[in-house]
Amino acid sequence: MKYMLLMQFSAAGTDFPSIDTWTPQEVQAHIAFMGEVNDKLTAAGEWVDGQGLGGPQQARIVRAGAGGTPVVTEGPFAETKEFLAGFWIVDCDSPQRAVELAAHISTAPGPGGRPLNMPIEVHPVMSAPAEEL
């Protein structure tokens, strides 16, 4: 079964500074950890896809306006304290394995090499609606 693992960043409840204040070595260690995660998922046959995402200052919210014309606003807005930092799509044998992977990803290093323990959401990826629908 496929699962989407969502890395959320929340300024509330964190005890580490934003990544733009980390040393180059701390950023490199964080990125290297993510590369190792991806390599291990690939070697285990569990990798489907994964990407880091631009920060909230680069995000846009789109809604359909009159006649379906896109209405684009900046967002999430500065007062928003949470944003999606990245995602993985994995193909695992069990929900427990998806949870294990999420827990490992949560240990990504931050300042001083300490684990960030960022929340990772685990969502099953639905392939089709239930037959009874």
For the segment 45-72, what is each residue's pLDDT rounded down to a tens digit?
999 999 988 877 778 888 899 999 999 8
Please tell me the distance from the alpha carbon of residue 104 to that of residue 118, in angstroms, as a whole number: 10
Does residue 13 surpass a pLDDT of 90?
Answer: no
Tens of pLDDT, residues 25-39: 999 999 999 999 999
Decide: 73 and 60 in contact? Cβ < 8 Å.
yes
Write down the domain spans for the chain: 2-124
> 9 has which bridge partners?
83
**What CA–CA distance (Å, rounded) separates 61 from 78?**
13
**Rounded-to-integer distance, Cα 31 and Cα 24, Å:** 11
Q: What CATH class is the domain 2-124?
A: alpha beta
Calculate Rg over the CA atoms of the chain. 17
pLDDT digits (tens, 9 = 90+) for 79-89: 556 778 899 99
Q: Is the overall model pTM greater than 0.75, yes or no?
A: yes
pLDDT, residue 119, reads 87
